[in-house]
Every structure is written in structure tokens, then in C-alpha cells.
Amino acid sequence: MAELTINKEVNDVVFTTLFTDEDVEMSIDRQMDIFKEEFGFTDEENDPVRDMIRDFAHSINPEKECMLVVKRDGRLIGSVSFVGEDNGVGRLRYVYLEPDERNKGIGKYMINLIVDMAREHGYKHLWLSTYNILEVARHVYSRVGFVKTKEEPAKYVSQQIMDEIWEMDL
């Protein structure tokens, strides 16, 4: 099976699955900062996610998994990870985009790149989990073609929020 790779530049934004340890750490730090600043998440809530992202990035199977980093002028502005599961199913994880880069089409383009890559590699179904409070992300998922299929009270966080599952057939 071929490796999952993406290398594109659109205007002055680079989308690539070639990343450094510094990219991983910056992605983790920024995701946790954003969750803390915008949604009031605590370090206790963020630390397990921090560890999961770091573990994922350092153990990627390039035939089934990738981490797409997005940079403008060398500055990391976003990332999304893809995990190939069994039976043609893939999962998007750890999606983030800098607040000052939102509403520019970058998030939609980033997700579409992953969807197109999954389709090209034979995946038939994609899914992701998110929180109901991530309104901008949910809007992007909907515009790309994902549909919310499930929701339940979020576990492992102190906020009164809902976990949501979004899915898409390819």
C-alpha cells in the first residue's frame, strides 16, 4: 500500500504531511492554548489529549496514517491527522486552525485534502468526533459533506458540552 502523503501550496499556504518534531509540539501547544482560551478547558482536561497527539505523531504508520500540517510563511497555522481503520473506514483527528486564519477557506481546503486523499487510497467511509461548542469546525465539516450522526454528553471534561460523531460516505 502506498504512503499517505500530501504536498500542496495554494497562494502562500503550504499543506504537507512532511512535519518536524517542532511542528508536532507547536500543534499540540496551540491546540491546548486555544481550548483553554476559547472554551475554558483546564490543563487536567488538555493533558491527556496532548499525550495522545504526541504519541500518534511519533508512531505514525505512513501506509494508514498521516498528520497534515498547514503553514503560512513558515508559521504553523493548522493541522489535522488521519487514521485508517479497518474495512475502508478512516478517522479525522486533532483538527485545529489558528483563530486568525479562520473564515478564509483554509479549514475547508485542509479537510477536503484529507477527504480526497482518503478517497484516492480506497477508503469508503470517514468519521470524526468533535464538541458541539466548536461551531466554526462544525460548519466546515457540514460544508465538506459530513453529517452529524450521534451526540451524547461529553466525558472527561468539566464543561456541560456534547460529544458529536460526524460521518461521511465516500
Q: Where are the alpha helices (DSSP H) in the chain?
A: 21-39, 43-57, 106-120, 135-144
Q: Rounded to two decimals, what is the model's pTM? A: 0.92
CATH H superfamily, domain 7-123: Gcn5-related N-acetyltransferase (GNAT) (3.40.630.30)
Task: Mark the ranges of the chain whose per-residue pLDDT is less than 70.
Answer: 1, 156-158
> Are 166 and 146 contacting, i.e. CB atoms less than 8 angstroms apart?
yes
Domain boundaries, the chain: 7-123
Write down the pLDDT at residue 14.
97
pLDDT digits (tens, 9 = 90+) for 14-64: 999 999 999 999 999 999 899 889 888 877 777 777 888 889 988 999 999
Write down the pLDDT at residue 100.
96
Write down the pLDDT at residue 1.
65
Q: How many helices and strands in the chain, by DSSP H and E?
A: 4, 8
Strand order from edge to edge, sheet including 89-97? 7-10, 13-16, 65-72, 75-84, 89-97, 125-131, 162-169, 147-153
